[in-house]
Homo-oligomer: A and B are copies of this chain.
Amino acid sequence: MTKKISNSEKLFHCPVEATLSQIGGKYKMIILCHLIHDGTLRYNELQKYIPQATAKMLTQQLKELEHDGIIHRKVYPVVPPKTEYSLTERGKTLTDIIHSMRDWGRKYMAGSFEE
């Protein structure tokens, strides 16, 4: 059992670094992109959207986002299991960033992603 997870009390040299400490993880911005678009997503829906991430990676990134108060994890005690991920209020404040990234990709990387 390791503690780790996240860098509170670390000092950064500029605000962008501080932001990256929260959403700079390998798949975090992509996760946020889909959550912003769809509102709520189940674990396996996220897997479908982000097939390049293994289950281990996806789980880890989700855990960190939850730990940092960016997303909310709701487990339904049913069989088979059901887990839903959604943005917290803090998470919703990241919408501007993700939207500007999405818009830039559409405009300047057109044709390099599936429409």
Contacts and interface: CB of A to CB of B under 8 A. Distances in A.
A21 to B, nearest CB: 7
B12 A114 contact: yes
Please give the count of copies of this chain that the complex contains. Answer: 2
Contacts of A90: 108
Q: Binding site of A, secondary structure by majority: helix, strand, loop or mixed? A: helix
20 contacts: A10-B112, A11-B113, A12-B105, A12-B109, A12-B112, A12-B113, A12-B114, A13-B51, A15-B102, A15-B103, A15-B113, A16-B98, A16-B105, A19-B102, A19-B104, A20-B101, A96-B100, A96-B104, A97-B97, A97-B101
Interface residues of A, number: 42
Interface of A: 8-22, 29-30, 33-34, 49-52, 90, 93-94, 96-98, 100-109, 112-114
